Every structure is written in structure tokens, then in C-alpha cells.
Structure 1
Amino acid sequence: MDIFGFKALLISALIFIPFEHLFAERAQKIFRKGLAVDLIYVLFNGFIIKTAIVMMAAGALGVAAILVPQSITQAVSGQPIWLQVAEIILITDIGVYWAHRAFHNIPALWKFHAVHHGIDELDWLGAFHSHPIDIIVTKAISLTPIFFLGFSEASIAIFSMIYFWHTLLVHSNVRVSFGPLKWLIASPQFHRWHHANQREAYDKNFAGQLPFLDVMFGTYNATGNKVPEKYGVDDPIPSTYFGQTGYPLLPRRKLSSRAAPSTEAGG
């Protein structure tokens, strides 16, 4: 088991670095600012998150064995794999949407999520740049129903692979058009506008994979082909890994314009 993610990192680099060079949205260097810190995130977060998910799954499955009728779990796991994967994507992304929105609208949670938004130069490696608490809470909210309902191991494995590669894609510095599918599948354009440090982009495009959730709940930001002027946040985020992981626990020194609930976030 590649608990630290070395193999995944190598394969990802071999795929995304050439594509970001050939189809770049913005001119960026491979060895950009913050690259070393992001590599530390890959190694430390990979171990922490996988350990947390195993513990979550064990706990959820144990409780589900007591509370959820076996007829339900058997019916769920007995569905065709493709249908299970589609259901998992929908259920988890509803969880991701609302967890993500909470991390933006609750000041105490924003301090954790601001670490992810602190990326000044966005590329595929930025997908790993998140505070462990941010990821663990989001995973707990989005994945617990999946374990409770008894989806098969094969469908969860396929979903995990899809989610991993799609997350890297939406963070990548690649110009690619999804055409009419942009309403159904999150694109790099959709997500880079979530990261834009511009007033019109704040508290928008929360979905991880399914943009129609933002359309439904009034948080979709239609940007056409415009490129954000800048990424990052106004918060005083430290530049080191340990500084960033400890940042949410420090007294706030400067209030970001994103740190309070927005009246533009659709309710």
C-alpha cells in the first residue's frame, strides 16, 4: 500500500507537468513558489488522510451493522457497479458542497480552509495543499453515508480513482473546454474561479464534481472564458508547512473579507 503517495505523485507528475506546459492557462514555472511546501503536503497528508479514512470506515461500518437493516445494504451493494459509482458521486458531492460552503461561511472553519486558498500559483499539485482538519472533516461528512449504506468495495475503489484524478484536473493549470458538459462535470475553469481572489468569485463554485449543485443552490459563478486576475487570500498565511498547519489555532491578526458569511452565497 502506497500510504505516503509516492507512486501516485510520480504518475501524476508525468501526466500533468507536460500537459500544463503544452496547454497552460497561465504562464507559470514548474518550480514555482510554494512547490516544496506542496510536496510536504503530499507526503504528510497522504499518510494522515488514509489513516483517518480507514478509521472512519471501520467506525461507520461497525455502527451500520447495528443500525442499518441488512436488506438495505444488500440491495445497495447488489446494484450494477456503474450505478453504484454514479450514486456515490452524487451523494458524496452533496456532502462536499455543504461542508465546503460551511468552511467558507463559518469564520472558525475558514481559518482551516484558508490554507488551501492561500495558493498563489494554482496547478495540479495544489490539489494536495489542504489542512488535514479541512480534509478529514469534509471526508467524514461526504463518505460516512457511503459506508453506512453498504456500497461495494469495488464501486468505492472506482469512485476513489475517479475522484483523485478529477481533483488534480480541476486544480491544474490547463486550458480545456468542457463545452455543454460544464454544467455536469466540474472543469478547471469552474474551479479556478473558486480560487480567484476577486470579490465576484468569493463564496462561489463549491461543488467538487457536479456544478449543477451550485446552480441549484444559487452559488454558481458563470465566467465564460475569463481568466482570474490573481489567486490566493488576504489572510496572513505562513509560508511553511508547519506554520500553515498551526495557523488556524492562532488568534486572528487580520480579518479576511472571506472570513464572514457572505450575503451573496445564496442564502
Structure 2
Amino acid sequence: MDTAYQYKKRRVPLDRQRELRFGEGKISGYASVALGLLSLLAVLAYRYPAYLTTIELRQVYDAESLQLILKYGMYFSLFLGLLTFCFNRHKRLGVAGIGLTCVGFLLGGYDIPVGPVEPVRLSLGIDWLILAFLGSVVVFMTLEKLFPKYRNQVILRDEWGLDLFYFCFNHLMISAILIYGNYHASHFHWAVSDSVQQAVQSVPLLLQVCLIIICADFVLYWEHRLYHEVRVLWPIHAVHHSVEQMDWLAGSRGHFVQVFSERAMVMVPLYLLGADQSALDIYVAFAALQAVLIHCNVEIPFGPLKYLLVTPQFHHWHHSSEKPAIDTNYSAHTVLFDRLFNTYHMPGKHWPAEYGTTVRLPRSFLGQLLYPVRSFLGRVSK
């Protein structure tokens, strides 16, 4: 910790215009649109499952059972849309939600027959998008309201639409990400050791999960550190750091080059260890939940766990633009490697006062997509 640095408290003014308040029709309007859009996407996924759902996820859920959830989602969208007319405010949101749901009904609704699906390797992960969005809203938005770090930070904070786009884009691309990750990992077949894999599979399941976490964290630590400390790579990673208000959506912002490279690199230790499928499934669930949680606007007392695992306070400091925090806290799962390699920064009970990059990036998806190219060309021209 930098003892000379004067840590300040972050001030978050309440944005009255963006605040969601009961009795105004805004909550029911946005909920109607969200459910209507998700319902329409789900109907399309049931109609064209080979092209709009993922092979891996189809093996986990029961498509027929989920139609019951779709049924209630569609009717709730209609109900909430009509509610905006009762409040006589934000009726356009209500009309949009009702319209999306009606299109879903016209395309077959929740009664589309479920049958065998012809395997198509490259598809859009609409099923993954819907389930991840609903799960994130229920779990993480609830946590943010129960245990907020910054109570005045609103759900519809500045640039939430941009991060929602990143969330959708990254989840829809899940099949392509997995294909690329598996293809990259397969190049390390020469390093596969049958004796190592047999040894890993012989230990208890919990120990296998711990081995996966530590090995994956080692790879992710060094990849993350390279993105920070190699000048030509930083503009790619800077897109992720351009978020200036942290919440459950903030972690979704990331340049597609970084997203693909992270998934590809972390697949290597998973491939080489050869752990049981159950251990891999537990790790994937743990990693996915932790990745969202550490960006959340939450202040939860983790107790002794904060000295072992990456927590929101730890990762928020990684996103800080304050001088002592720059280029610190690279780890994704545990704090082990930051402590080993002297990049650990946790100044007591302090939290960051400022987030984002020291040089402000473009605020649009296209601008951020092209930012690394423009940065590279700018350096070449000099």
C-alpha cells in the first residue's frame, strides 16, 4: 500500500432522471420490453434450435420444461405492458413490450414442438444469452440492491446500454469462442501426459477443482499482465477498463480480441490437466459467477476469504485510475499470484474513488472496436 497517497471516498450523485421508482410505469415498461424481447428470442430459438442454440448448453437443460417459463414470461410481458397504460406514463415502453410478445405468439409462442436437433457446430447462443441474462438479473441485481457499495448508483447508469450490447454480443458468440478455444488448445497435444492426467483424475473431485482454479489463474494472471504491460496490447484491454461505473454489466465490456484470447488461453490448462467432466463443470460455473460478482456494485463482508479469493473490492482496485492501483491486481480467481509477483494492492477498507482509464476512450461500440487499430496507426505514424 502506498502510505503517502491520500485515499478519498467516491461520491456518486443520485441521477433522478435515470432512477427507477415505483408507481411511474417505468419499471413495468422496461420489464415488459425485456421479457417481450427475451420471449421473442426464445421462440426463435425453439423454431431454429440448430442455428440459434448451443450444443453444449442443450445437453444441460430440458427444453420442454423451459417452455413453461417462456409461457409465464410472455404473459407477464403483456401484463406489465398494460400496466404502463394504468399509470398513463411510459406507454411507449408498454407498447413495445406488448408488440414484441405478440410477434412471439404469431411465430408459435410456447407451444412449438420440441424434437431432435440436427447438430450444427457454429451457431448463435441465444439460449445461453437468455439464461445468462435472467440469472444475472435475478442473482446479481438483487445482490446490488441488498448490499450496495454505492447506494445512489442507478440500474440504468450512464453507458448501461453499451455494456448491455457487449453482454449480448459476447453471449451470442459463445459457440465461436468455444470452437476457437478448443482449436487453440488442441495445438498443445504434444504436452499431454497420460500419467499426469491419470494422477489428476485419481484425486478427490474438490481437489481437482482447486487444481484447475490455480492452473487457470496462473495463465490468466500472466495473460492479463501482458495486456497491461506490453504497450501494443494495452489499447485492446483498455476497452475493458473504460468502464467508469462498476456493476454486474461492467465486466461484459471487452474487445473481442481479448475475449477470444482469454478463452483460448484458459482452455490450455484445462486441456492438459484432463480433469473429470464434473470438475470442469464446477470450475466453469465458479469462474462465470465470480467474473460477474467481482465487477458488481456490492459490498459484502467476505471475511477471511478476501485473503484467498478475488473479491469485488480487490477487482474494483484493478479498475481504478488512481496512481497506486494502476497495473495491480491481475488475478482472476485467487490473490496468490499477485502476492507472489508483488502486484497486490488492497489498502485496508478503502475503495476506489475513480474508475476508468487515464485517457478517455471513445464511448461507442464501433469507436472502441477500432480504438486499438487507431492507437497502433498513431504510434506507427509518429
The answer to whether TM tops 0.5 is: yes
Partner of residue 37, structure 1: 162
Q: Displacement, 1:42?
A: 1.2
1-side partners of 2:188 and 2:348: how far apart? 46
Please list, as runs of the form range in 1=range in 2, the aligned pairs for 1:53-202 lying within 5 A after superposition.
53-58=178-183, 60-61=185-186, 64=189, 68-202=192-326
Aligned partner letter, 1:167: A
Alpha-carbon distance change, 231 to 62 in structure 1, aligned in 2, over 3 angstroms: closer
Q: Displacement, 1:143?
A: 2.3
Write out per-residue CA displacement over residues 189-237 of structure 1, whole angstroms, 9 at most, x where no aligned residue: 1110111110011011111111122111101112211121111113241
Choose which of 330, 340, 365 in structure 2 pairs with 1:241: 365
1-side partners of 2:298 and 2:375: how far apart? 37
Q: Displacement, 1:63?
A: 5.1
Q: Is the Cα–Cα contact under 8 Å of residues 49 and 136 in structure 1 kept in the other structure?
A: no
Write out per-residue CA displacement over residues 139-183 of structure 1, whole angstroms, 9 at most, x where no aligned residue: 222321211232222211110100011111111000112222211
Aligned partner letter, 2:375: P
Write out per-residue CA displacement over residues 89-140 of structure 1, whole angstroms, 9 at most, x where no aligned residue: 0000011111111111011111011001100111111111111111222222
Partner of residue 130, structure 2: 6
Q: Percent identity?
A: 33
Aligned partner letter, 2:329: N
Q: Which has the larger radius of gyration?
A: 2
Please list, as runs of the form range in 1=range in 2, the aligned pairs for 1:210-225 lying within 5 A after superposition.
210-225=334-349
Higher relative contact order (CA 8 A, sep 6+): 1
SS of residue paired to 2:173: helix
Root mean square deviation, CA, Å: 2.1
1-side partners of 2:246 and 2:300: how far apart? 15
| Stretches of structure 2 lacking an aligned partner (at least 5 in a row) | 1-53, 58-124
Q: Displacement, 1:253?
A: 9.4
Partner of residue 259, structure 1: none
Partner of residue 140, structure 2: 16
Stretch deviating more after TM superposition (150-159 or 214-223) = 150-159
Alpha-carbon distance change, 248 to 58 in structure 1, aligned in 2, over 3 angstroms: closer
Q: Is the Cα–Cα contact under 8 Å of residues 235 and 254 in structure 1 kept in the other structure?
A: no
2-side partners of 1:52 and 1:232: how far apart? 26
Partner of residue 36, structure 2: none
Q: Is the Cα–Cα contact under 8 Å of residues 60 and 147 in structure 1 kept in the other structure?
A: yes
1-side partners of 2:368 and 2:351: how far apart? 27
Write out per-residue CA displacement over residues 59-99 of structure 1, whole angstroms, 9 at most, x where no aligned residue: 534752x6524343333334322121110000000111111
Q: TM-score, normalised by structure 1?
A: 0.87
Partner of residue 262, structure 1: none
Stretch deviating more after TM superposition (84-93 or 13-22) = 13-22
Alpha-carbon distance change, 60 to 233 in structure 1, aligned in 2, over 3 angstroms: closer
2-side partners of 1:116 and 1:62: how far apart? 28
Q: TM-score, normalised by structure 2?
A: 0.62
